[in-house]
Chains A and B, each alone.
Chain A
Amino acid sequence: MNLTLKIWRQKDRQTRGEFVTCQARDIIPDMSFLEMLDVVNEDLMKAGHEAFAFDSDCREGICGTCSLVINGIPHGGQKGTTACQLHMRHFHDGQTITVEPWRAQAFPVLRDLVVDRSAFDRIIASGGFVSVNTGGAPDGNAIPISKVDADRAMDAAACIGCGACVAACKNASAMLFVAAKISHLGLLPQGQTERYQRVVKMVDTMDHEGFGACSVTGACEAVCPKQISLDFIGQLNRDYLRGSLKP
């Protein structure tokens, strides 16, 4: 099939970007969306033009690198699916597809469709961990953890840090990302000692990085490729209140 692509072009962080239109020819429905972009890029390069820069790596939906807003929806709108696992059979011949980068103050565009998500790393660095040095850990079975808690912690820990939640939120809020980490560590006994300092530090960093606030619209949950629940944000709100009121 043949498609018309309206893709964001931006030289670097400082330069203003714009949409450019190009054609994707002879696309096979079995291609993934990123493989379709590979084809477009190879055609451009063969003609001596620059390829569109876009981030991707594992291409199996776990590394969280790919970051495309496709027709207005981060990752393209297939339930629980990253852009790398989105296949062209969900599009039809002759369709025009708009491709944009994540848009947020905290995620500046580096080039074309590539954004800088290091703000997420800085949020984790400010408290998203359990402070244990290597060595000296007690036996893995020393503290039993109920299966329910372990499973729930795993639900939160499934976050791949792709930033689709930020991209989808009308406020570019990172609450779902922060909530997933807070809940993952907060649900496990190992995370208890630093539970309340952690949440205060991470929220402060989140604000400092320029993410917006949560309006509880649920857009983040809807686009999350790992279907992280909005309920975890409730947990974050609760923990932060307690953490802030602690003397």
Chain B
Amino acid sequence: MKLDARIPSGPLDKKWEKCLLEMKLVNPANKRKFEVIVVGTGLAGASAAASMAELGYGVKSFCFQESPRRAHSIAAQGGINAAKNYQNDGDSVDRLFYDTIKGGDFRAREANVYRLAQTSVKIIDQCVAQGVPFAREYGGLLANRSFGGAQVSRTFYARGQTGQQLLMGAYQALERQIGLGNVTMYPRTEMLDLVLVDGHAKGIVVRNLVTGEVSSHSADAVILATGGYGNVFYLSTNAVRCNVTAIWRAYKRGALMANPCYTQIHPTCIPVSGDHQSKLTLMSESLRNDGRIWVPKQPGDKRPSAQIPENERDYFLERKYPTYGNLAPRDISSRAAKEACDDGRGVGPGGLGVYLDFSDAIKRLGESKIRERYDNLFVMYERITGENAYKVPMRIYPAVHYTMGGLWVDYHLMSNIPGLFVLGEANFSDHGANRLGASALMQGLADGYFVAPYTVGNYFASNSVSRPATNHPEFTKVQEEVKQRTQKLLSIRGKRTPASFHRELGKLMWNNCGMARTDASLQLNLEKIPELREEFWKNVTVTGENNSLNQSLEEAGRVADFLEFGELTSRDALERKESCGCHFRTEFQTPEGEAQRDDANFAYVAAWEYRGENQAPVLHKEPLVYDELKMSQRSYK
């Protein structure tokens, strides 16, 4: 298979313009004849559905949540980047482009990232016009703050709820189109398969989560904006119902899965308190400005923090990285904390945590100053842990946060299956091996508002309306397969709950394919995960019936897909014999412990092709060519 990314020729800054000019257009009167299915209603999905409906296309929008407003984009805290240069600090499209490529450790596609940087400025304008209440300066102009991986202030924010506010903007635009009758909304409806007719994506099979009814929907194109797969680790900062099912089923219908091993681990999360834990909560990274990270020097030291004298504490980040100290980059901080805990020096229940201590800062600045800076975070910490972090040190631990990999897409955000478009976190396109803070919201909205409406239109114009009826044999066949699979889950009646399999998979993934990966650990996963999967299909218990609201059935289906997906992720991580960004292979590191890239052999996008049940997937490589930038060793020192 030859992967054609369809990147326009010409200079980098003119590529998108050229692409737009060369696109075929659909006559306004003909637009209503085309229908598009949009799965997912987060930033990418809602913005795409609304924008396509505004243009006049018929849109069907699907989400498994009860309302489009519940999509997980809502949980993003920090902000959204845009190369506005409102702060007069020398920002530009080129600088945002450079920062993003460098942040991604030179594993992203130049042309896509450049377009993202160009589009970023329009996003802010659009959101302001929708009534997103971004933070303002006293003069009435938009405020900015700085974020990791950048030396300019280009992050726009709405308190700690930027994702929520941007999603409300997109959701309101979507609801407006629903009210006008241009979008048909299907909430509590989960996509369970993709239907191809003559090699083109022509529809989906869904299950109504309230009635259990399985039905088919056909369209002229399908857009997947179904988010990331961080929950393959069971515990992550994702919402508990985030899943890989939609993109995994598309993969099994022939779409290529790209770079699944690129998963971002965030260093400052509230640690696990026990086996019961269902999710992890992120604490803003800004806490590291004033907190000092340490563990006891002695393994197994169980004394309360206050009883450990200064000389028996190991401020390991300050010791290992004297220049950056507690502000070392995300991946480095995360790995260092893991190593300390692996030595048996972790603190708190289960020994998986390190202290983030504010006592020095409180002594130096006074408690009121710390309160002013971080009180909301301290309140949140106390709500979850019951501990007052003004009195005892916080405990933190790294957690899975974002997934850079996803379905392979070309410059038009279309996968290798014609008519199947993938937006937002669900695709692999813009962040390379590591995403910078405040870039996820930017990408979701760029894809949905400003890329897909054009590129999907171009696909329509290049292909005549050929929407098959849902009684087409292909639909009937897929629908039958979906029903059988659901029936099978219900008929096993084993002894273990879906969650117990999910937890076990999560542990395998975290231990063997998490922050640091080795050849041996990944080999172990390739052995253990199929065993676990086999047990799942023999011993899972799903109570209840098919024809009603059945959350354990939903969960079982998602876990079954994670059990397949986890193996592919481990395989991808094994295959990539280098370290880059968030993919850290212990065998490949610089003497200072930094990720050691191998550009000669691994400067490519790994795109995996499904070849059938119990068959090894086939790896396709899309070489990454850097015309504008020179690949270099990433350094933040």
Chain A residues near B (Cβ < 8 Å): 11-12, 28-32, 34-36, 38-39, 41-42, 44-46, 48-51, 53, 55-60, 62-65, 78, 81, 85, 87, 89, 110-111, 114, 116-118, 120-121, 124-135, 137-141, 143-147, 150-151, 153-154, 157-158, 160-161, 184-185, 188, 190-191
Contacts and interface: CB of A to CB of B under 8 A. Distances in A.
B118 interface: no
Contacts of A129: 130-131, 172-173, 175-176
21 contacts: A35-B277, A36-B276, A39-B276, A42-B497, A45-B541, A53-B550, A57-B240, A57-B241, A59-B239, A59-B240, A63-B72, A89-B386, A111-B549, A117-B66, A126-B179, A127-B179, A129-B130, A130-B130, A134-B453, A135-B122, A185-B131
Question: Which of A38, A65, A81, A143 has the largest count of B CB atoms less than 10 A from its CB?
Answer: A65
B552 A29 contact: no
B279 A30 contact: no
Nearest to A57: B239
Given A64-B70, A135-B122, A158-B159, 6 more contacts: A49-B543, A58-B72, A131-B176, A132-B130, A140-B134, A154-B159
B74 interface: yes
Nearest to B128: A140
Q: What are the 4 tightest A-B residue pairs by CB atom distance, in nearest-first order?
A: A144-B140, A125-B179, A137-B129, A129-B172
Question: Which of A38, A51, A63, A81 has the largest count of B CB atoms less than 10 A from its CB?
Answer: A63
Nearest to A37: B278
Given A30-B386, A129-B130, A51 B543 contact: yes
Interface stretch (B47-55, B413-421, B582-590, B601-609): B47-55
Interface in B82-118: 84, 86
A36 B548 CA distance: 24
Interface of B: 47, 50-51, 54, 65-70, 72, 74-75, 84, 86, 122, 124-131, 133-142, 158-159, 161, 164-165, 168, 171-173, 175-176, 178-179, 185, 187, 210, 237, 239-241, 273-274, 276-279, 281-282, 349, 383-386, 449-450, 453, 493, 495-497, 499-500, 541, 543-544, 548-552
A145 B136 CA distance: 7
A65 B175 contact: no
A87 B384 contact: yes
Given A124-B172, A188-B131, A65 B158 contact: no
Contact of B168 (A29, A78, A157): A157
A12 B276 CA distance: 29
Nearest to B547: A12
A12 B549 contact: yes
A64 to B, nearest CB: 7
Contacts of B497: 42, 45-46
A138 B131 contact: no
Nearest to A49: B543
A125 B164 contact: no
A132 B139 CA distance: 25
A41 B499 CA distance: 10
Nearest to A157: B133
Nearest to A115: B66
A12 B161 CA distance: 35
B431 to A, nearest CB: 22
A110 B131 CA distance: 33
A85 B383 contact: yes
A185 B168 CA distance: 11
A48 B75 CA distance: 35
A86 B433 CA distance: 36
A138 B125 contact: yes
Contacts of B122: 135, 137
Contacts of A138: 125, 129
A125 B66 contact: no
B38 to A, nearest CB: 14
B126 A137 contact: yes
B129 A63 contact: no
A85 to B, nearest CB: 6
Contacts of A62: 74-75, 161, 164
B595 to A, nearest CB: 30
Contacts of A121: 67-69, 175, 178, 185, 187
Contact of A12 (B128, B450, B500, B548): B548
A47 to B, nearest CB: 9
A170 to B, nearest CB: 25
A30 B383 CA distance: 10
Contacts of A191: 131
A35 B383 CA distance: 15
B279 to A, nearest CB: 5
A246 B187 CA distance: 36
A57 B70 contact: yes
B387 to A, nearest CB: 10
B66 A65 contact: yes
B158 A154 contact: yes
B32 to A, nearest CB: 16
Contact of B386 (A87, A145, A185): A87
A154 B165 CA distance: 9
A147 B273 contact: no
Given A132-B130, A140-B125, A185-B131, A48 B541 contact: yes
A51 B551 CA distance: 8
Contacts of A128: 172, 175
Given A57-B65, A121-B68, A130 B75 contact: no
B129 A28 contact: no
Given A55-B66, A59-B239, A63-B72, A38 B276 contact: yes
B240 A56 contact: yes
B97 to A, nearest CB: 20
A57 B72 contact: yes
Contacts of B550: 53
B53 to A, nearest CB: 10
A89 B128 CA distance: 42
A158 B167 CA distance: 12
B161 A65 contact: no
A61 to B, nearest CB: 8
Contacts of A150: 133-136
A211 B86 CA distance: 45
A71 B50 CA distance: 41
Contacts of B68: 121
A110 B142 contact: no
B551 A53 contact: yes
Given A35-B276, A60-B279, A121-B67, A51 B552 contact: yes
A120 B65 CA distance: 14
Contacts of A127: 179
Contacts of A154: 133, 135, 158-159, 165
Nearest to A130: B131
A139 B497 CA distance: 53
Given A130-B130, A140-B84, A184-B133, A125 B175 contact: yes
Given A110-B210, A128-B175, A133 B75 contact: no
